[in-house]
């Protein structure tokens, strides 16, 4: 009887088992046709892709547009400032000459033979530093009431609730004590805004100290631009 070669039989059986593909070889085969991945270089958490003809031109174009956009934004802000100042000056000159109170001037320009306009809209809105104005109320004198509207609001202080609870327990608070109690419970806040015709009234302020306060604490909101046909 012929002896069985166990070792060779085992090798034959092992050879019959399907081999698993090499993961590295799979990855290489997947990227071999992709120039972006094939030539990629990793730097920590950033992968610099290789040149890819399918997107290279669009990337370069996007970079050019970004530079052009930033330059255009910078140029527009400069021109916008010129237009705002021009519109403000012409609006004031017109109002002074014709005793009017117009808020918008339209600056003309030509576009392919058509006349179009850029509107410079000077709204009657001002930013007011209320603390400066309130602290200089005496300096402003009568001009304070002429130039500003003041809204007063009262609210409970942080410890108002606990104080109120104590007061509710107590009985017999006299009417004369009401104001004193309110002052303990309430904080007063002020909102200061310029009157509608501030621009006309401020020109009549004669006190140099008051003029100085107003120049520091009150500024007109920048004009808006509107491009129309």
Per-residue pLDDT, 21: 58
Per-residue pLDDT, 75: 93
The model's pTM: 0.54
* CA–CA separation, 63 and 187 (whole Å): 56
- Do the Cβ atoms of 40 and 47 come closer than 8 Å? yes
Helices 160-169 and 178-185, packing angle to 10 deg: 150
Per-residue pLDDT, 72: 94
Question: How far, CA to CA in Å, does 39 sit from each of 36, 137, 161, 215?
Answer: 6, 72, 70, 63
Task: Give 168-217 pLDDT, tens digit per residue.
Answer: 567 666 666 666 666 677 777 889 999 988 888 898 899 999 999 999 99
* Consecutive H or E run containing 228: strand 224-228
Domain boundary assignment for the chain: 56-121, 126-167+184-228
Per-residue pLDDT, 164: 66
Per-residue pLDDT, 17: 61
From the list 99, 75, 90, the residue with the least C-alpha distance to 120 is 90
Per-residue pLDDT, 16: 63
HSE at residue 213, side-chain half, CA atoms within 13 A, is 22
**Biggest alpha carbon–alpha carbon distance for the chain:** 133
> Which DSSP string corresponds to 7-68?
HHHHHHHHHHSPPPPPHHHHHHHHHTT-HHHHT-EEETTEEEPPP-TTTHHHHHHHHHHHHH
- CA dihedral 139→142→148→150, nearest 10 degrees, is 90
Q: Is the dihedral of CA 207, 210, 215, 221 positive or negative?
A: negative
Write out residues in the chain with pLDDT < 50, as ranges.
24, 26
The neighbour count for residue 105, using CB atoms within 10 Å, is 21
From the list 224, 153, 226, 145, the residue with the least C-alpha distance to 187 is 153
């Amino acid at each position: 009887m012929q002896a069985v070669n166990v070792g060779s039989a085992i090798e034959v059986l092992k050879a019959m088992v399907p081999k698993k593909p090499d993961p590295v070889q799979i990855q290489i085969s997947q990227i071999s046709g992709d120039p972006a991945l094939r030539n990629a270089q990793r730097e920590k958490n950033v992968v610099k892709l290789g040149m890819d003809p399918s997107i290279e031109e669009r990337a370069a174009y996007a970079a050019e547009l970004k530079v052009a956009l930033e330059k255009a934004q910078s140029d527009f802000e400069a021109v916008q400032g010129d237009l705002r100042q021009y519109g403000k000056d012409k609006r004031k000159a017109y109002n002074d000459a014709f005793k009017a109170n117009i808020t918008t001037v339209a600056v003309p320009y030509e576009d392919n033979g058509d006349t179009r306009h850029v509107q410079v809209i000077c709204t009657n809105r001002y930013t007011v530093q209320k603390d400066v104005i309130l602290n200089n109320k005496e300096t402003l004198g009568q001009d304070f009431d002429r130039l500003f509207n003041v809204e007063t609001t009262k609210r409970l202080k942080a410890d108002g609730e606990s104080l109120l609870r104590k007061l509710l327990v107590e009985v017999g608070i006299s009417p004369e004590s009401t104001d004193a109690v309110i002052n303990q419970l309430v904080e007063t806040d002020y909102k200061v805004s310029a009157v509608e015709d501030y621009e006309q009234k401020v020109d009549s302020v004669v006190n140099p100290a008051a003029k100085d306060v107003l120049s520091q604490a009150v500024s007109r909101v920048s004009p808006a631009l509107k491009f129309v046909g």
